[in-house]
Structure 1
Amino acid sequence: FVLEPGCPDQVTAAGALHERLVERALAMGGTCTGEHGIGLGKLRFLEEEHPAGVDVMRRIKLTLDPLGILNPGKVLRAGAR
């Protein structure tokens, strides 16, 4: 999106449009991502698109990092299901 620097209304509108686009893609059997992978901004969509896969990743992370000290809060949010 092309936004006017320092215009919070445009940032808010762009964020809402982004969410609608991803939700539509998922509703049509598409994906929430492309070649660049998942960032924090699309995490909830990944959880919606691949709940079983995210659960497996979360369990692996818990096994390898039971205290949650390695990269906390990134991609696999603590306690999220």
Structure 2
Amino acid sequence: MVKTLWLVRKLGDFSSDLVGEDDIVVLIQDAVLRFPYKRNWYACKEDVEARGLKVSPDKLKSYEDIAELILTAQKVVVW
């Protein structure tokens, strides 16, 4: 189970020190422009495609995937 789901809109304002081992980070909006390949970090598929970026398919989460994570996570933080 996901302890905290972090939805990050702007990567420059976000401190990865806050992320725990059981957390998942999903970059959305302009945060996908600087995607760091870290364990349990993902990018919003639709935002990546809208910006014409290339991100490994195993690191993408669709809107539907993100909605499921929101429902199952113990806590959701939008940054």
TM-score, with length taken from structure 1? 0.26
Structure possessing the higher relative contact order (Cα contacts under 8 Å, 6 or more residues apart): 2
> Is the strand fraction higher in 1 or 2?
2
In proportion to residue count, which structure has more helix?
A: 1
Q: TM-score normalized by structure 2?
A: 0.27
